């Protein structure tokens, strides 16, 4: 594969991911939706792929029902090749039901595939993620 990444292209791609992280933390569905490609597909853990109206309804409902607190979010890799790009990441988040209930803390990793639109903006085309066990250091 011929990688044509430059730091400015990678920075533009990472800016979209940062907007996604912020939109989730602020429960801002409008912002989140604005960075999704029309044909975006999410592949969440332990569930079926979601796209189209189903994806958007699912995201809106999640943001309305839960508070997301990012304990950490780390960009692992970002590559741009023409009008396509990918980004891998690791995260820890705390999710709290707005209606009350148990707080869930998850550790995981994921992959974004992004496409540059005709106007030059990057949109999230695919996202897949899964949980990882909590990292512990023995003997500490």
Alpha carbon 23 to its chain centroid, in Å, reads: 10
- Give per-residue pLDDT as tens, 34-70: 999 999 999 999 999 999 999 999 999 999 999 999 9
pTM, to two decimals: 0.88
Q: What is the pLDDT of residue 7?
A: 86
User: According to the model, what pLDDT value does residue 138 have?
Assistant: 55
Structural domains of the chain, with CATH: 7-132 (3.10.450.50)
Residue 5 pLDDT exceeds 60: no
Indicate whether 1 pLDDT > 50.
no
């Amino acid at each position: 594969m011929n990688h044509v990444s430059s730091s400015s292209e990678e920075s533009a791609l990472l800016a979209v991911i940062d907007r996604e992280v912020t939109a989730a933390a602020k429960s801002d569905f409008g912002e989140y939706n604005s960075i999704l490609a029309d044909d975006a597909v999410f592949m969440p853990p332990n569930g079926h792929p979601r796209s189209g109206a189903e994806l958007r309804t699912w995201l809106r409902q999640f943001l309305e029902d839960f508070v997301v607190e990012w304990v950490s979010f780390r960009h692992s890799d970002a590559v741009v090749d023409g009008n396509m790009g990918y980004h891998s990441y690791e995260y820890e988040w705390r999710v709290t039901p707005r209606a009350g209930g148990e707080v869930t803390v998850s550790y995981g990793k994921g992959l974004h595939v992004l496409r540059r639109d005709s106007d030059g903006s990057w949109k999230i085309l695919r996202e897949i993620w899964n949980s990882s066990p909590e990292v512990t250091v023995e003997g500490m």
